[in-house]
């Protein structure tokens, strides 16, 4: 909730109100500020997943909605258009997870079970699969991630994903972040590495990010031009 500037006349009225009433209003404002619901809307020049374009190098419109309980359990949905050169035209991920600080809040743990769902065409459901993702964040700026699925890309094969990243706060509400990840697969495709560097600038509820993403040569072998290095521009609204 954004603070509201009061005129002098309104301020006098508030000063005359009983203290209990003012305290109740403050409690309500605090409760509203800590709403368990959150949503985002984003537009990006290219939806890339672990270094690989999911939209055939075309723009995407994305959105998310998440509910978080007071004990750290959360559930939500995330959606984006996709283009695989087939009738499949949308990805809708559904997820549940648990987020908590460990000890003195220096370490944050996030455990997430994500279901990758696809829509459009008669065989879209054949692409769906689950992934368990665990992420540790240290000091709010350094993170390590491990993901595992026993059915990567709905192939029946195991897939592991390991990643590390970091971020630094810059002047003028800017943030610089970088990350590197490595995916391993049990015979389906070649193991490959992806990387990214992103500069974000915030204006109130809006964030503009300019990133550079790509993969190593094995990623190029797996996915062709979809894994080429590229710049990605993203605008996100998160009220």
Look up the CATH number of domain 36-237: 2.40.160.40
Q: How high is the pLDDT of residue 24?
A: 43
The domain ranges of the chain are 6-35, 36-237
Q: Tell me what pLDDT residue 90 has.
A: 98
pLDDT value for 33: 58
Residue 29: the pLDDT is: 47
pLDDT at position 123: 86
CA distances from 102 to 34, 107, 160 (A): 21, 5, 25
pLDDT < 50 positions in the chain? 1-24, 26-31
Specify the pLDDT at position 32: 52
Confidence (pTM): 0.85
């Amino acid at each position: 909730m954004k603070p509201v500037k009061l005129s002098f006349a309104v301020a006098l009225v508030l000063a005359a109100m009983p203290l209990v009433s003012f305290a109740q209003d403050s409690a309500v404002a605090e409760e509203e500020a800590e709403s368990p619901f959150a949503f985002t809307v984003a537009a990006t020049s290219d939806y890339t997943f672990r270094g690989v374009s999911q939209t055939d190098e075309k723009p995407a419109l994305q959105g998310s909605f998440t509910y978080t309980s007071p004990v750290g359990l959360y559930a939500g949905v995330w959606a984006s258009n996709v283009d695989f050169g087939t009738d499949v035209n949308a990805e809708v991920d559904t997820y549940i997870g648990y987020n908590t600080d460990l000890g003195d809040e220096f370490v944050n743990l996030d455990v997430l079970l994500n279901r990758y769902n696809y829509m459009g065409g008669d065989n879209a459901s054949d692409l769906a699969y689950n992934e368990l993702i665990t992420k540790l964040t240290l000091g709010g700026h350094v993170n390590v991630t491990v993901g595992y699925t026993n059915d990567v890309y709905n192939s029946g094969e195991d897939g592991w994903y390991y990643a590390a990243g970091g971020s630094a706060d810059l002047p003028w509400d800017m943030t610089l972040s970088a990350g590197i990840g490595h995916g391993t697969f049990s015979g389906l495709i070649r193991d490959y590495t992806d990387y990214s560097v992103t500069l974000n600038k915030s204006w109130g509820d809006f964030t503009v990010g300019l990133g550079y993403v790509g993969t190593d040569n094995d990623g190029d072998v797996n996915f062709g031009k979809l894994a080429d290095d590229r710049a990605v521009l993203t605008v996100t609204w998160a009220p």
